[in-house]
Amino acid sequence: METFESLVRAEFAPKNTYLNTASTGLLPARTVTALHTAAQAAAAGRPTDMFADVEAARASFARLTGVPASRVAAGASVAVYSGLIAASLPEGAEVLTADGDFSSTVNPFHARGDLKVRIVPLESLAESVRPGTALVAVSAAQSADGRIADLPAIRAAAREHGARTYVDASQAAGWLDLDADAHDYTTAVAFKWLLCPRGVTFLVTPEDPGTLPPLFAGWVAGERPWDSCYGPIEELAHSARRFDESPALFSYAGARHSLDIVEELGADTIRAHDLALADRFRAGLGRLGHEPVPAPGSPIVSVPGLGHRQDELSRAGVEVSDRAGNLRAAFHLYNTPADVDRLLDVLSG
C-alpha cells in the first residue's frame, strides 16, 4: 500500500518552491500522461472516448462532495453557473454576498440589474440573513486571504428565513470536508486544489432543481445526447446533466485522474498535511514580525503589506501571489516543510 509521501512524490516533482495552489494547482504525472495520450490519439485519427472521462470525473466529484452523480453538472466556468442561478431568481429578489468575494461568484447577480444585491462582511453573513432574502451566495474559503465562511451558521440562518444557499468551493474542494447536500447549490473549478487541467467546473444542484433554467442546454444536455443534435431538444436529461456545458474534453480526459488522487489520499489527510504547513508558516511570520490575516483552519495564508515582494520571491524560485497588496501563500499536498522554510528564508532577507 502506498503511503502519502510515496504517492505524492511519484506524481509531483516541481522544479521550484511552488506555493501558489490558490491560483493554479500542479498537474499530477498520471494526468499529464492521460492528456498526452488523448492528444496523440486525436492526432492519429483514433480519438478515445473522452465523454466517458466526463462521466468518471462527474462521479468522482460527486463522491468527494457526498452527493449522487445525478446531481452534478459538468461545465467549464463558475461564472456561467453563477449566471444560471442568477437567472432563476425573480425580479427584485435579494441576494446576500460577502464583501470582497470572488467576482465569478457574485458579479452575475449584479449583472442582472434587477436584483437587490446586499454586501456585508464575511463574518456577518449569517446574522445578516433576513425575511425576504432569497439567496446567500458565498465562497467556502475566500480567494484573497483564505478566510473560511461559517457554512453551518449560514445554512441555518438561510433555512430559518426561507433562503437558498449557493457555495463556491473553488478554494476549498480538495482539502475541506465538503457536504454539498447541505446546500442548495455548490460549485467549484477544479484547476486549483483538485489538481485538474483548466476547463473543468462542477455544479451540484438539488434533486428537484425547481426554477433553475437550462438556458445554455445544448445537445449534451439531452436525455439521449446523440439523438439531440438537431433542432430543439425534445427531452432534456432527467439529471443535473441538463445543466452541462459542452465539455472541454481534453481537460476532462486528465481531470478524472487528478480526482482519483484526491480520492485516494482523502480530504482529511490532505487537510491535515496542508494545515500543518500553513501553521508552520504563520509561526515563522510571527518570528519575523509579520501578522497574517486571521484565517484559522485554512491552508491559504495572506500577509498584508508584503505583496510587493512577489516578483522578488519569484526570481528566487518561490512562487506565491500578490492579491490586493497582500502576499498570498497556499500550501497543498505536494509541499513540504522545506518549502515553508525556503519562503521564510527569502522573506527574512
The pLDDT tens digits for 238-249 are 999 999 999 999
Cβ atoms 252, 258 nearer than 8 A = no
Answer yes or no: do 51 and 86 share one domain. Answer: yes
- Comparing 56-65, 118-127, 206-215, which segment has the lowest mean pLDDT? 206-215
Residue 210 pLDDT = 86
Mean pLDDT for the stretch of residues 178-199: 97
Answer yes or no: do 160 and 193 share one domain. Answer: yes
Cell of 57: 470525473
Answer yes or no: do 257 and 272 share one domain. Answer: no
Query: Is residue 302 predicted with pLDDT exceeding 80?
Result: yes
Total number of domains in the chain: 2
Q: How far apart are CA 315 and CA 86, in angstroms?
A: 42
344 occurs within a structural domain: yes
Is residue 116 within a helix (H) or strand (E), and if so which, with residue range? strand 116-120
Residue 94 pLDDT = 98
Answer yes or no: do 190 and 86 share one domain. Answer: yes
Handedness of CA 204, 209, 213, 216 (dihedral sign): positive
Answer yes or no: do 16 and 140 share one domain. Answer: no
Answer yes or no: do 226 and 306 share one domain. Answer: no
Residue 1 pLDDT = 53
Answer yes or no: do 141 and 197 share one domain. Answer: yes
Q: Dihedral through CA 251, CA 254, CA 258, CA 261, nearest 10?
A: 160
Residue 342 pLDDT = 98
Q: How far apart are CA 181 and CA 155, in angstroms?
A: 11
Mean pLDDT for the stretch of residues 109-134: 98
The letter for the amino acid at 250 is: F
Q: How far apart are CA 119 and CA 273, in angstroms?
A: 34
Residue 47 pLDDT = 85
Domain-terminating residue out of 239, 264, 289: 264
Is residue 120 within a helix (H) or strand (E), and if so which, with residue range? strand 116-120
Q: How many CB atoms lie within 10 A of CB 182?
A: 15
Claim: this prediction has a pTM higher than 0.85: yes
Answer yes or no: do 102 and 248 share one domain. Answer: yes
Mean pLDDT for the stretch of residues 175-201: 97
Q: How far apart are CA 137 and CA 73, in angstroms?
A: 18
Q: Dihedral through CA 297, CA 301, CA 101, CA 153, nearest 10?
A: 10
Domain-terminating residue out of 213, 231, 264: 264
Binning pLDDT at 50, 70 and 90, where does residue 180 land? very high
Cβ atoms 278, 331 nearer than 8 A = yes
341 occurs within a structural domain: yes
**pLDDT mean across residues, the chain:** 97
Binning pLDDT at 50, 70 and 90, where does residue 316 land? very high
> What percentage of the chain reaches a pLDDT higher than 90?
97
Residue 25 pLDDT = 98
Mean pLDDT for the stretch of residues 273-302: 98
34 occurs within a structural domain: no
Q: Higher model confidence: residue 210 or residue 157?
A: 157
Residue 349 pLDDT = 86
Tell me the CA distances in angstroms from 243 to 81, 91, 232, 236, 313, one per residue in order: 9, 22, 15, 9, 42
Answer yes or no: do 91 and 169 share one domain. Answer: yes
**Full domain range(s) for residue 327:** 4-28+266-348
37 occurs within a structural domain: no
Tell me the CA distances in angstroms from 203 to 54, 181, 327, one per residue in order: 13, 12, 30
**What would the pLDDT profile of 94-114 be if each residue is shown by its tens digit?**
999 999 999 999 999 999 999
Domain-terminating residue out of 264, 289, 313: 264
**Cell 492528444, located at residue:** 39
CATH assignment of the domain containing 69: 3.40.640.10
CATH assignment of the domain containing 285: 3.90.1150.10
Answer yes or no: do 124 and 206 share one domain. Answer: yes
Residue 307 pLDDT = 96
Query: Is residue 55 predicted with pLDDT exceeding 90?
Result: yes
- Comparing 157-161, 223-227, 268-272, which segment has the lowest mean pLDDT? 223-227
Angle 178-125-212 from CA coordinates, rounded to 5°? 60
Mean pLDDT for the stretch of residues 196-221: 95
80 occurs within a structural domain: yes
Selection from 245, 165, 170 nearest residue 205 by Cα:
165
Q: Dihedral through CA 21, CA 24, CA 28, CA 34, nearest 10?
A: 160
Answer yes or no: do 211 and 323 share one domain. Answer: no
